[in-house]
Amino acid sequence: MPELSKAFEELTVDNCTFSRAQIRATFYPKFENEKSHQEIRTRMIEMVAHGQATLEVSLKHSGSLFMYAGHKGGAYAKNSFGNVYTAVGVFVLGRMFHEAWGTQARKKQSEFNDFLEENRICISTELVTAVLGDHGQRPIDDYVVVTAVTELGNGKPRFYSTPDLIAFCRKWRLPTNHVWLFSTRKSATSFFASYDALCEEGTATPVCKALDEVADISVPASKDHVKVQGEILEGLVARIVSHDSLKHMKKVLEDFPPPPLDGLGLDLGPSLRDICAANRSDEKQQIKALLQSAGTSICPDFADWFGDGAGGAHSRNADRSVLSKFLQAHPADFSTTKLQEMIRLMKQRHFPAAFKCYHNYHKIESLSRFFVDVNVFKVNKEKAAEVSKDSNSLLKNVNGTHDSSSSVDGLADEDANLMVKLKFLTYKLRTFLIRNGLSILFKDGPSAYKTYYLRQMKNWGTSAVKQRELSKMLDEWAVYIRRKCGNKPLSSSIYLSELEPFLEQYAKRSAENRALVGAAGNLVSSENFLAIIEGGRDEEGDLHLEAAIPPPASLDSVPKHEGLIVFFPGIPGCAKSALCKEILNAPGSFGDDRPIHSMMGDLIKGKYWQKVADECKKKPQAIILADKNAPNEEVWGQIEDMCRRTTASAVPVIPESEGTDSNPFSLDALAVFMFRVLQRVNHPGNLDKGSPNAGYVLLMFYHLYEGKNRKEFEGELYERFGALVKMPLLKMDRKPLPNSVKAILEEGINLYRLHSSKHGRLEPSKGTYRKEWTEWEKRLRAVMFKNADYLNSVQVPFDLAVKQVMQQLKEAAKGEHMTPDSGKRRFGNIVFAAVTLPVTDIKLTLSKVASKDPKAEAFLESIRLEDNLQKAHVTLAHKRSHGVTAVASYGVFQDQEVPVDFTAMFFTDKMAALEARLGSVNGEKVVSKNQWPHATLWTAPGTAAREANALPELHLEGKATRIDIDPPITVSGVLEFY
């Protein structure tokens, strides 16, 4: 029997009712709590940095666990034994021998079986085939990769180190995985940063290339993933191994060069796919054909599959007393001890598990007369939580019987089991979002499917940009496949036959789509050679299909433990207060029973957003309507902070508008907002028809959004909050804005710019242009009311707008959003590395420069930099411009303080920047990959920040001003990933 601690951990990865941490705890006493990925990563890096261990990373192939302990020891899969899964595994393993040894294959197979059985060795492999159902991508070829070798012995089993595994496999010419070793802080941090930069769009080629560049040693796989499985890469497995692994690996690679493949070019007989296609009558027929083709050297008889001939096939309804006898028996070895402990625990807690007992026909006359197959069923989240909570103490009691002081390769048990699986979004979208959502889509419809996939992405922490892109694609997929299949659900076993052509066409539309999909096309058709799997089991094993899918009711349930903040990045007159009133007057409008509380800014004295934060803290489960305009990033940052502190979510509601090149709101929208305000009477905030400077106030709010076009505005809100609700404003088929209205608005905008340039935020009645303002306000009212019919006719009816907003808000309240992330990302979805600078220190630096140079002073005043500068950083490397490994190389400096010397200021009428000279961290100089390191201070509307890179060249051409800072001014910042 294979070593069960390793086997059962793999058995339960997809099908367990309780956490993997509990399973590990049964076998590994110190590993009682599943740590977060970030904790594990930090621990790994620190161990490597202090010379205590090496970080080992290997590819995760998209296949199934298959274990082999010799033809007498048995063949086992995570999908049980004695069925088509293990028959396929035996055949593919046998085919690997033929490819490797050629005419000597039969002899080597016999030697290999004898060696395994004499030494009680079990090999674990990843079985990758196209005949057992679709996963993330249909493999081009059918193969196995050896992932573990275990000496069972009589005491605690010994797992081979990776160098020993490679030596073992090269001796027997078995396929090995791609492995990378990282033995320094720099290489280990670069690895994790590389993954973070690629996690949402990584495929096999760029991932392997990036890891090859940052690893201390790279050992290529026997089978090239791209050639045998394709570009879609499931993920990486990172774990801690002995500090001496690097030295050990180098010695093994010297002593065991890659073996030849003597079977290349030989006729190896029918392939796996040929055999499955030719034997489509039933599962037993396929099994028999596969085993016959594998040959007697690897499968001398069919007893495990079909019995000994006397009693027929082994019964799935064996005597239940067998299990009781097994639990009372004295264990012969460590593996049996741990299996007994596991089963006792499961029976004590009444876990929904079936224990199926089969005869072992190889040992029918010996003491070992049975084989136990543990089949764990899925249950709902509530039951799983109950199991998790109640079993901790039992696990501790079970673990008390095991000697926990042992070590593996010099590592304590706790550290020896530090492992993290890092999967890629291009794989997850195919497997989890599409395949696993098919039943929901066809049974419960697109709405339930949308709830399902949005919740999955939220749980993964998928970036808002990718959520938006995936949502668009998945909605289109849902319409496409339901239209094509009608009422007949698409089989998850062959779903790629429909999905791959869809993805291929989708990817052709744009570069963004290609990055989202990762790879598509070159479909391997599998319909005619799928293995026959007994009814009631899916491609993952013996589970019943209905039990494998969570009930729809749980998908539609609303999380009651989180609050929701609804806020309005708009302009006075956008109808936010009227909307809030409608929401309050419609009980249950959010689809749940959370209390709704509206906070009108005009009625609240003091610091409004602090009052909202206090309310969130007092009522963490409430839905709060923040009835106040939220026009700038400072406010958005405060709302993000509220969400982080209270685990609430936030949803911005914005008026729909086309916008301009430099403002998210068009003049048409501004005209309607002004018209609405000028019709108000008795407004709580005194901004109504009686206000002498109502037009000025609207222009002031309008200019708070200046510098962002509509796409940038919506993108930033979505990036921060993961959701965006749009309130219809203007009819699509409206007539153009009358010239008189356009002219009066443009006149007001010009007047506002003159006034603010000279007086800042001084009231219009107290400045140089007070007479002009009085005249303009009077003419504004005349023009607006003269065009009242037009302004009324172009607006979307308010009741219709409310209805659409309410529907969007209801979806947001159901959890179809993500908890907002901060502007910077500590891990996951890295785009660039930069030194973040304190804005206060930058402003102080500019003040010093201005005090010494009149030109600098005049320029800084003209652009009102003191008011407009919100953030500053020095970019070190960008993923698109410099490559993944360039960005990842800064991982060793992450969160470290970096001194930055500013040596000059450059500016034109469109942009300004400070020239930067980077200092050192722990004696190592930080070097920017940018040719000209700098901190961009300002760009005019319509000017991209990246254009500041050209300032030195513009200066040489006489088109930019340079002001030297002598001596340089030093500001310290923190190196971070964004």
Q: Which two tokens stand for residue 597?
A: 């509380």
Q: In Å, how far are 843, 847, 848, 850, 867 from 854, measured between CA atoms?
A: 16, 11, 11, 6, 19
What is the rounded CA–CA span in Å between residue 673 and residue 664?
14
Residue 614: CB atoms within 10 Å: 12
Work out the angle between the directed axes of helices 245-255 and 162-172 (0-180°, nearest 10): 10
What is the rounded CA–CA span in Å between residue 456 and residue 823?
22
Q: Do 352 and 379 contact (CB within 8 A), yes or no?
A: yes
Residue 354, burial from CB neighbour count under 10 angstroms (0-12, 13-18, 19+): exposed
Q: Do 126 and 161 contact (CB within 8 A), yes or no?
A: no
Please name the amino acid found at residue 339.
L
Is 381 annotated as catalytic?
Answer: no
Q: Which two tokens stand for residue 945?
A: 């920040």
| Tokens 């070590």 found at | 407
Residue 487: CB atoms within 10 Å: 6
Decide: helix, strand or coil at residue 596.
Answer: strand
Query: What ranges in 102-244 are assigned the alpha helix state H?
Result: 105-118, 162-172, 185-198, 204-214, 225-228
What is the rounded CA–CA span in Å between residue 887 and residue 890?
6
Angle at 564 between CA 561 and CA 569, to 5 degrees: 165
Nearest alpha-carbon partner for 95 in 302, 304, 291: 291
The dihedral of CA 311, 317, 320, 325: what is its sign? positive
What is the rounded CA–CA span in Å between residue 616 and residue 567?
13
Angle at 350 between CA 347 and CA 351, to 5 degrees: 95
What is the rounded CA–CA span in Å between residue 48 and residue 243?
8
Q: Do 185 and 31 contact (CB within 8 A), yes or no?
A: no
Task: Report how far Cα 515 is from the mean position of its chain's Cα atoms.
Answer: 15
DSSP 80: B
Q: In Å, how far are 475, 529, 587, 803, 814 from 809, measured between CA atoms?
A: 19, 48, 14, 10, 9
Q: Which two tokens stand for residue 485?
A: 């299949």
Q: In Å, how far are 161, 568, 603, 611 from 607, measured between CA atoms?
A: 61, 17, 12, 6
What is the rounded CA–CA span in Å between residue 495 and residue 127?
20
Decide: helix, strand or coil at residue 586.
Answer: coil
| Active-site residue, from 6, 35, 60, 325 | 60
Nearest alpha-carbon partner for 171 in 115, 117, 218: 115
Torsion of CA 517, 522, 523, 529, to 10 degrees: -140
What is the rounded CA–CA span in Å between residue 668 and residue 66?
66
What is the rounded CA–CA span in Å between residue 571 and residue 419?
51
The dihedral of CA 651, 652, 658, 661: what is its sign? negative
Task: Report how far Cα 832 is from the mean position of its chain's Cα atoms.
Answer: 17
Q: What are phi and psi of 961, to 5 degrees?
A: -100, 135
As beta bridge partners, residue 963 has 905
What is the rounded CA–CA span in Å between residue 630 and residue 635?
6
Q: In Å, how far are 22, 196, 350, 353, 396 from 390, measured between CA atoms?
A: 11, 35, 11, 17, 12
Work out the angle between the directed axes of helices 464-485 and 496-507 (0-180°, nearest 10): 130
State the catalytic residues. Answer: 60
